[in-house]
Amino acid sequence: MNDDDRRLIAECLGGRRDAFGELVSRYQARLYSAAVRLVDSPDDAADVVQDAFLNAYQSLHAFKGDAEFFTWLYRIAFNGAISLKRKKRPTGSLDAAGGEHGFEPADPSDYVRTGHALERTEEDRLLHAALGRLSPEHREVLTMKDLDGLRYEEIAEVLGVPVGTVRSRLHRARLELRELLAPLDDAEPQDRGRGDRPPPEPTP
């Protein structure tokens, strides 16, 4: 585990509660970026992130440190996202928890605005639509590996499956995504050619 994360966790468990606030500041934007891809809603993603940090704080004593802190945090957020998608539920607020526990996470709207807004380019929208057509297990592993940058071992930890299963799912997911995007790739040069060609000369 990252030595700095280890130090902050030890300080938090030792009584310096604002040390957890440093962990929140370090990972909240990255976690939000992952969460919004899981639930496809900025508001729901903010709820997932808030719940994940609150649950992580309350369960920090159970964190063994045999994995990266972000991997553990991601797993909490992942489980929360799955639960939220199955059934919308009320979420706790970290604003109140911050005053009680001594850490003050940023307003989720801050990291929604700064580089994480869901303003997709056309290419992003097409990719997102293709991802939405994958099975949940393929979409999850592809998102974690290729978009969130998790290692195979981290994905296996989050999903609770062997690394070999992760590799197999990822291979099939990439093949399926390539097939979904292939018609778009074939059409794109023709579209570009039409756009680059000057308009015909008017006939006399």
Half-sphere exposure of 185 (CA within 13 A, CB side): 8
Domain assignment present for 100: yes
Boundary of a domain, candidates 118, 141, 161: 118
Residues 94 and 105: beta-carbon distance below 8 Å: yes
Average pLDDT over residues 178-195: 63
Domain assignment present for 200: no
Residues 128 and 56 reside in one and the same domain? no
Structural domain total, the chain? 2
Which DSSP string corresponds to 121-157? -HHHHHHHHHHHTS-HHHHHHHIIIIIS---HHHHHH
The tens digit of pLDDT for each residue in 75-129 reads 999 999 988 888 665 445 454 444 455 555 445 444 444 444 444 566 677 777 8
List the CATH number of the domain containing 111.
1.10.1740.10
pTM of the model as a whole: 0.69
Q: How confident is the model at residue 134 (pLDDT cuts 50, 70, 90)?
A: confident
Residues 75 and 125 reside in one and the same domain? no
List the CATH number of the domain containing 163.
1.10.10.10
The domain of 66 spans: 1-118
Residues 162 and 100 reside in one and the same domain? no
